[in-house]
Structure 1
């Protein structure tokens, strides 16, 4: 599958140019024309890189970086801006951006930079000493990022805790009480349906068919088992 790029710019002409450059490099694109639209995309979808303008209609690109980093989203960000002051590039990098390129840009250079940044980021994740691998699944504990077949799957905090429990103990049967203790804490009252809700959410994200799960299976009368 092609790597996915989120383009965040409120200028339709620039978006079309960026899409053309990305497509010429066999990259898949999604366009957001505002900071809020970008943040909404990132709540429900994962991307391999974000191309972000500084000047947006509703907020500065710097604010977008602040918000996504505060939410634990570590997707690489390349700022593509018409502002070429040193302060802007240094400020963006200090907030968590990974690169800064100014407009007008050379398409060949931009394409090469994007692919190099994606490649470097994936290499760092997969080679991290805290990376757990089980079957097609990879979990980076320090960044709390989860992948299937190299493709990132965005998980909520509770989904991440549940998936981390499973991937650390493949093929082990976990009762509801065990899951309560590990994910919620044994001193917290949790509705009996809560675990089923989160199990179904995880199945919807990692299974080919959530109605016929192959990875998170129900063990009747006992609980659940993760089969990588």
Structure 2
């Protein structure tokens, strides 16, 4: 790594936290450990971090509250939640506030580093992508700025919304395979990520409803299809 990636680690179990920090440092990352969400927010305000790995259940301030506060400072920072819970509601709550991934305890150190590497690869890949503009019916979609525009109305999309709409646009009027989209954006095609993707599809439908010629339809058992009136794709 030419420039060491900095990870903010927040875990109230100090023994586990120190173990994780040492492991990440051995893997070539810079990692700073904080023991509760309040310390984590203060640490983030002082330092520049490329990623956050945080426990959910913590004293003083829990992981969800901490991430909501940090996302107000930087909505782009990737987040992995660590949790002893496997409650569906918790996992969906995590995705709603912008989690990139979720790992249930106990987990292996190798699994954590694989997930970190996958997310960082995706973030780096996004930075080097060429400036892509899509025309979707009466909308224009700027994937770099994550802006969806119709007439004089601009909507700033979240990172996940933007990534999902980019995939749908690149497969406009074709089936976007569900598994492909999940692996591409969420890394893992498990049940919780699939439920999370459904939430984002619903959000995108709301954003696009200003143009009735566009729709995102479910293709049962396969995935989704973005139906647009643009026929340029067929001319090739």
Cα distance change, pair 28–96 in 1 and its aligned pair in 2 (3 A): same
Task: Pick from 145, 150, 157 the counterpart of residue 142 of structure 1.
Answer: 145
Aligned to 1:9: 11
Whether 1:26 aligns to 2:28 is: yes
Question: d(CA) in 1 for partners of 2:130 and 2:51?
Answer: 19
Q: CA deviation at 1:141?
A: 7.4
Aligned to 2:110: 108
Q: SS in structure 2 opposite 1:84?
A: coil
Count matched residues: 134
Task: Pick from 76, 94, 103 the counterpart of residue 74 of structure 1.
Answer: 76
Question: d(CA) in 1 for partners of 2:6 and 2:50?
Answer: 5
What TM-score do you get using the length of structure 1 for normalisation?
0.54
What TM-score do you get using the length of structure 2 for normalisation?
0.53
Question: d(CA) in 2 for partners of 1:55 and 1:103?
Answer: 12
Q: SS in structure 2 opposite 1:89?
A: helix
Cα distance change, pair 27–101 in 1 and its aligned pair in 2 (3 A): same
Aligned to 1:85: 87
Q: CA deviation at 1:107?
A: 1.2
Cα distance change, pair 141–37 in 1 and its aligned pair in 2 (3 A): farther
Instruction: Say what the alpha-carbon RMSD is for the aligned residues.
Output: 2.0
Task: Pick from 53, 58, 61 the counterpart of residue 59 of structure 1.
Answer: 61
Q: SS in structure 1 opposite 2:60?
A: coil
